Amino acid sequence: MNICSDRLNQVIKTVESAGNTAMKFFCSPELKKSFKSKCDLVTEADTTVEKMLLESLKTVDNIGFLSEEFNPETGLAKPCWIIDPIDGTTNFVAGIAPFAISIAHFDGGKVDFAVCFLPVTNEMFSAEAGKGAWLNGEKIHVNADSSAINCVGATGFADITQHGGTGTLPVFCNMVQKTRAMRRLGSAVTDLVYTACGKFAFFYEAGLSPWDVAAGSLIVKEAGGIVTDFSGGNDYILGKTIIASNPQMYDFVRNEIEISLKQRLFI
């Protein structure tokens, strides 16, 4: 059973309530939506849930916010909450799962606890630095897949959505040929927590924002996974590239990314 700190418990309760609110908008024909940019949707669910979280998290720890809809420019110089109110907004607008609510507590130096909630499947992921990771109160661990052909991996194409071009498509083409299967769920938060609990052996993506990866990356690490940027460093929250993998497959993923991007397959 997950004996977690009082603050983590308070955040879990807050996120459960935010999930109930999000579900009231899910699949609603009256859902109001607009475009922040050419491909970046925002809905009244995103803004309503984020406003709820900004209010309630202040009572847990009255620090700053780095949040997708109302505080996207905050840096990581001071302690703050890192929030994605609805990760997978395109899925949400289409009325398909998954979507996730993601909260990370940044203590000024590292993410020290995190919660990711998938309301449609009622999956509450949480982690505390140095204490482990849990799904609905039960300890979780990355899987032990050790050969590419037996692996299911996940990715997304944030880089292409934002900048056009082929982005990491060359990596995807190679991965599809070398693994059992590749999945693109449309929610980077879900990709990360599903790697943490062993549904996926690995996940990688370029072009994500801090709120997409801050919480899920701690959950993967606390579940025994390896999380780096594409060059093997620790700049995966602000640095726009992330690999999250079980230990056995990490080198394969990192090498495939390096080789494929050098090849620059003309797709």
What are the residues binding ligand IPD (CB under 6 A)? Answer: 84, 87-90, 156, 158, 161, 186-188, 207-208, 212
105 near 219, Cβ under 8 Å?
no
**Which option in Ca ion, ligand IPD, none does residue 192 bind, with CB closer than 5 to 8 A by kind?**
none
Task: Give the span between the Cα atoms of 41 and 118, in whole angstroms.
Answer: 19
Cβ proximity to ligand IPD: between 4 and 45 the closer is: 45
Residue 137 C-beta: closest distance to ligand IPD, Å: 25
3-state secondary structure of 12: helix
Cβ proximity to ligand IPD: between 158 and 214 the closer is: 158
Task: Give the span between the Cα atoms of 238 and 52, in whole angstroms.
Answer: 25
**Which option in Ca ion, ligand IPD, none does residue 111 bind, with CB closer than 5 to 8 A by kind?**
none
90 near 41, Cβ under 8 Å?
yes
Task: Give the span between the Cα atoms of 35 and 138, in whole angstroms.
Answer: 38
Residue 2 C-beta: closest distance to Ca ion, Å: 26
Q: Which stretch binds Ca ion (CB under 5 A): 6-14, 87-95, 112-120, 190-198?
A: 87-95
Q: Which residue is nearest to Ca ion (CB)?
A: 84
**Which option in Ca ion, ligand IPD, none does residue 66 bind, with CB closer than 5 to 8 A by kind?**
none
Cβ proximity to ligand IPD: between 188 and 219 the closer is: 188
Cβ proximity to Ca ion: between 128 and 205 the closer is: 205
Task: Give the span between the Cα atoms of 127 and 195, in whole angstroms.
Answer: 14
3-state secondary structure of 132: strand
Residues 6+ apart with CB under 8 A from 180: 149, 150, 151, 152
- Using CB under 5 A as the binding rule, whether residue 159 contacts Ca ion is answered as no
Cβ proximity to ligand IPD: between 198 and 207 the closer is: 207
Residues 6+ apart with CB under 8 A from 94: none
Write the CA distances from 70 to 53, 66, 67, 102, 145, integer angstroms: 11, 8, 6, 15, 40
Task: Give the span between the Cα atoms of 26 and 199, in whole angstroms.
Answer: 25
Cβ proximity to ligand IPD: between 94 and 259 the closer is: 94
**Which option in ligand IPD, Ca ion, none does residue 188 bind, with CB closer than 5 to 8 A by kind?**
ligand IPD
The mark string for 46-85 relative to Ca ion (x by CB under 5 A, - otherwise) is ----------------------x---------------x-
The number of residues that bind Ca ion (CB under 5 A) is 3
Residues that bind Ca ion (CB under 5 A): 68, 84, 87
